[in-house]
Amino acid sequence: MNESQPSFLLVDGNNILHAWPELVKLLVRDRAAARTELIRRMVEYSGFSGDRTVIVFDGRGAATNEERMEGGLQVFYSGDGHTADEIVERLARKYATSYDIVVATDDRAEQDVVVGVGAQVISAEGLQSRLESVDREKDDWLRRHRKR
């Protein structure tokens, strides 16, 4: 990555929901709760890591809409007639020349498109590893700075 360019992590939310076993279990019972849990984890991650993070989910309504969460996390929901994949690909295409873009997905076709426009890809497992690494860093920081 180019250290002089700002970076963004684009997360294919539906793909991650279906890839992480603990989220799959939750998804079976309650789709909204699974989305909320992924968002919670990504807010925590981006808040500590400093990564600008965007999560894109498939539709919720007639038009594409966006929510801004604490820590600057953005969540997009595709509108009718569009998919999360299309939005991720469009964002990567639009911003890959100006920003370092990393897309988290296991969707092979989506990976090919975003790499083709100059973005990088990490797998769902790679994203989970990033979150676990930041959790360890956060725990270490808290241990070192805890008042005794």
Task: Give the DSSP per-residue string, 91-118.
Answer: HHHHHTTTSEEEEE---HHHHHHHHHTT
- The span from the CA of 61 to the CA of 5, in Å, is 34
Determine the pLDDT at residue 146.
81
Q: Is residue 1 part of a domain?
A: no
Q: Is residue 91 part of a domain?
A: yes
Q: Report the side by side order of strands in the sheet with 52-57.
A: 65-68, 74-77, 52-57, 7-12, 100-104, 120-122
- The span from the CA of 34 to the CA of 38, in Å, is 6
Q: Is residue 15 part of a domain?
A: yes
Determine the pLDDT at residue 5.
57
- The span from the CA of 17 to the CA of 36, in Å, is 11
Task: Give me the residue label for tokens 């990564």.
Answer: 51
Tens place of pLDDT per residue across the chain (148 aa): 445 556 899 999 999 999 999 999 999 999 999 999 999 999 989 888 888 999 999 876 666 677 777 677 899 998 888 899 999 999 999 999 999 999 999 999 999 999 999 999 999 999 999 999 988 888 887 888 886 5
Determine the pLDDT at residue 111.
96
- Parent domain of 30: 7-145
Task: Name 92's Cβ contacts closer than 8 Å, sequence gap at least 6.
Answer: 10, 101, 103, 113, 114, 117, 118, 119
Q: Is residue 58 part of a domain?
A: yes
Q: Is residue 2 part of a domain?
A: no
Q: Residue 12 belongs to a domain with what CATH number?
A: 3.40.50
Q: Can you give the pTM of this predicted structure?
A: 0.87
Determine the pLDDT at residue 2.
47
For the chain, the domain total comes to 1
Q: Is residue 121 part of a domain?
A: yes
43 in Cβ contact with 69 (< 8 Å)? yes
